[in-house]
Chains A and B, each alone.
Chain A
Amino acid sequence: MGDQVSRLRTVSESSGFSRKRLVFGLKVAVFIVSLWPVTEIVIAFLTGNTRLFGANPAEKILHRTGDWAIYFLLITLAISPLRRITGLNDLIKFRRMAGLFAFFYAFLHLMSYIAFDRFFYFDEVLRDIFKRPFIFVGIAAFILLVPLAVTSTRGWVQRLGGHRWILLHRSVYIIAILGVAHYWWLVKRDLLWPAIYAGILIVLLGYRLLPKKRFRG
Chain B
Amino acid sequence: MPRLISKPIPSSEITPREVYLNRRALLAAAAGGSALAMMGKAAFASGLRRPLEALPNTAPKISDTPTDHDLATSYNNFYEFGTSKSDPARNAGTLTTKPWTIEIVGEVTKPRTIDVDQLIDMGLEERIYRFRCVEAWSMVIPWIGLEFNKIAALVEPTSRAKYVKFVTVNRPSEMPGLRSDMLDWPYTEGLRIDEAMHPLTLLTVGMYGQTLANQNGAPVRMIVPWKYGFKSGKSIVRIEFVEKQPVTAWVAANSREYGFYSNVNPEVDHPRWTQKRERLLPDFFASRDTEKFNGYGEQVASLYSGMDLKVNY
Q: Measuring CB to CB, which residues of chain A are less than 8 angstroms from any residue of chain B?
A: 50, 54-59, 115-119, 124, 127-128, 131-132, 134, 186, 188-190
Contact = CB atoms under 8 A, between A and B. Distances in A.
A128 B274 CA distance: 8
A119 B276 CA distance: 11
Given A124-B274, A189-B83, A58 B279 contact: yes
A128 B281 CA distance: 23
B272 interface: yes
A9 B137 CA distance: 54
Given A50-B282, A119-B277, A189-B83, A56 B182 contact: no
B304 interface: no
B285 A54 contact: no
Given A58-B284, A127-B274, 6 more contacts: A54-B71, A56-B75, A58-B283, A131-B269, A188-B83, A190-B182
Given A116-B285, A119-B287, A56 B83 contact: no
B268 interface: no
3 nearest CB pairs, A to B: A55-B75, A190-B83, A55-B71
A182 B180 CA distance: 23
Residue of B83, B253, B282, B284 with most partner-chain A CB within 10 A: B284
Given A58-B279, A186-B272, A190-B182, A117 B286 contact: yes
B208 to A, nearest CB: 15
A50 B70 CA distance: 14
Contacts of A189: 79, 83, 182-183, 253
Nearest to B285: A119
Contacts of B135: 188
Contacts of B74: 54-55
Interface of B: 67, 71-72, 74-75, 79, 83, 85-86, 135-137, 180, 182-183, 253, 269, 271-272, 274, 276-277, 279, 281-287
B253 A58 contact: no
Contacts of A58: 279, 283-286
B282 A57 contact: yes
A132 B275 CA distance: 13
Contacts of B279: 56, 58-59, 116
A57 B137 CA distance: 12
14 contacts: A50-B282, A50-B284, A54-B282, A55-B67, A55-B71, A56-B75, A57-B282, A59-B279, A116-B285, A117-B286, A131-B271, A188-B83, A189-B79, A189-B182
Contacts of A119: 277, 285-287
Given A55-B71, A56-B281, A124 B276 contact: yes
A56 B282 contact: yes
Contacts of B284: 50, 57-58, 116
A118 B286 contact: yes
Nearest to B177: A190
Contacts of A50: 282, 284
